[in-house]
């Protein structure tokens, strides 16, 4: 067992302090491989060949290194537009046949669960539903680059019981409040969205800026037919706190913005922060 196996769950500072020169060299080798894959952009077969060659060199390097290489390979394979040949067997340690779990999660504080940003999975492919694997659990949690899911395909996987996606900060569906409840709650939510969900054409628009910067004038111009704002007198037109408006853009049937026009003076800064929400369109 390599020395890093004993420190894999320690902080990066502790790992660097206690890691032997051999493990430092092995980790540097993996980092160089990731950089090569990111910069040279080889085709799928060439990239997989490079990863497999690296894995053969890492056979005696300890489990964290093997796990990291397996994770790099799985993310690369699942990032392809079409399923590569023999992908079921190529997923290696990322697929547990006993629990029927596909684990491609990233825990960024753990060396074995970290891979370069350019190699991370950006969206889960729709063809994952056609894999010759009886998947019960899919874990993509902790991936800050994941932004898209094939909802219809995931919901159609009858054997699938859990889909774990907590801490995927760029993923909008499911919302983080649901993702934090666990894989079963996520799958239940996605299936209900597919069966009963309705398109929501109402959203928040928040105007933020310094005092007298022209936020209210911009809003008036957006709402007017000729795209122009009325003159606002300083002594009468200053926004006090927050002004609320409703705006229905012309030519966009059913679309409604709930507008919050924030007062820009410094005195409102602390109170305005309580109205900052994640699911909104911001105009600065």
pTM over 0.85: no
Q: 75 and 161: one domain?
A: no
Q: 86 and 19: one domain?
A: yes
For residue 103, is it within any domain? no
- Output the pLDDT for position 6: 47
Which helix or strand (DSSP H or E) is residue 283 part of?
Answer: strand 280-283
Q: 20 and 2: one domain?
A: yes
For residue 9, is it within any domain? yes
Q: How far lies 168's CA from each of 120, 171, 232, in Å?
A: 12, 6, 44
Domain closes at, from 198, 220, 237 = 198
How are the residues of the chain apportioned to helix, strand and coil, as percentages rounded to the nearest 5?
Answer: 45, 15, 45
For residue 60, is it within any domain? yes
Q: What is the CATH number of the domain that holds 212?
A: 3.40.50.300
Give the residue among 124, 245, 238 at the shortest CA–CA distance from 186: 124
Domain closes at, from 173, 198, 223 = 198
- pLDDT tens per residue across span 197-225: 777 888 888 888 887 777 888 888 888 87
User: Which residues in the chain show pLDDT less than 70?
Assistant: 1-16, 18-19, 22, 56-64, 108-114, 227, 229, 231-237
| Overall number of domains in the chain | 3
Q: 6 and 77: one domain?
A: yes
For residue 74, is it within any domain? yes
Q: 187 and 126: one domain?
A: yes
- For residue 218, what are the domain limits? 202-283
Q: Which residues contact 108 (CB under 8 A, 6 or more apart)?
A: 114, 142, 144
Are the CB atoms for 112 and 68 separated by under 8 Å?
Answer: yes
Give the residue among 140, 157, 237 at the shortest CA–CA distance from 191: 157
């Amino acid at each position: 067992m390599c020395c890093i196996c004993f420190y894999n769950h320690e902080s990066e500072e502790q790992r660097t302090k206690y890691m032997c020169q051999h493990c430092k060299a092995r980790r540097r080798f993996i980092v160089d491989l990731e950089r090569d894959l990111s910069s040279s952009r080889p085709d799928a077969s060439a990239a997989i060949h490079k990863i497999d060659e690296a894995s053969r060199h890492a056979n005696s390097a300890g489990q964290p290194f093997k796990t990291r290489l397996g994770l790099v390979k799985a993310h690369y394979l699942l990032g392809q537009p079409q399923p590569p040949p023999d992908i079921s067997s190529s997923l290696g340690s990322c697929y547990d046949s006993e629990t029927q779990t596909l684990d491609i999660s990233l825990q960024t504080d753990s060396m074995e669960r970290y891979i370069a940003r350019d190699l991370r999975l950006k969206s889960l492919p729709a063809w994952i539903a056609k894999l010759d694997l009886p998947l019960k659990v899919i874990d993509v949690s902790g991936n800050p680059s994941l932004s898209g899911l094939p909802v219809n395909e995931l919901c159609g996987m009858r054997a699938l019981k859990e889909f774990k996606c907590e801490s995927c900060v760029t993923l909008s569906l499911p919302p983080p409040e649901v993702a934090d409840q666990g894989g079963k709650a996520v799958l239940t939510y996605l299936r209900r969205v597919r069966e009963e969900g309705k398109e929501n054409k109402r959203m928040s628009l928040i105007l933020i800026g310094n005092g007298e910067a022209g936020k209210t004038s911009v809003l008036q111009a957006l709402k007017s037919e000729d795209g122009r704002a009325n003159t606002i007198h300083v002594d009468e037109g200053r926004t006090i706190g927050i002004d609320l408006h409703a705006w229905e853009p012309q030519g966009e049937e059913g679309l409604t913005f709930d507008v919050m026009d924030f007062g820009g003076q410094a005195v409102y800064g602390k109170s305005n922060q309580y109205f900052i929400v994640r699911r909104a369109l911001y105009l600065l």
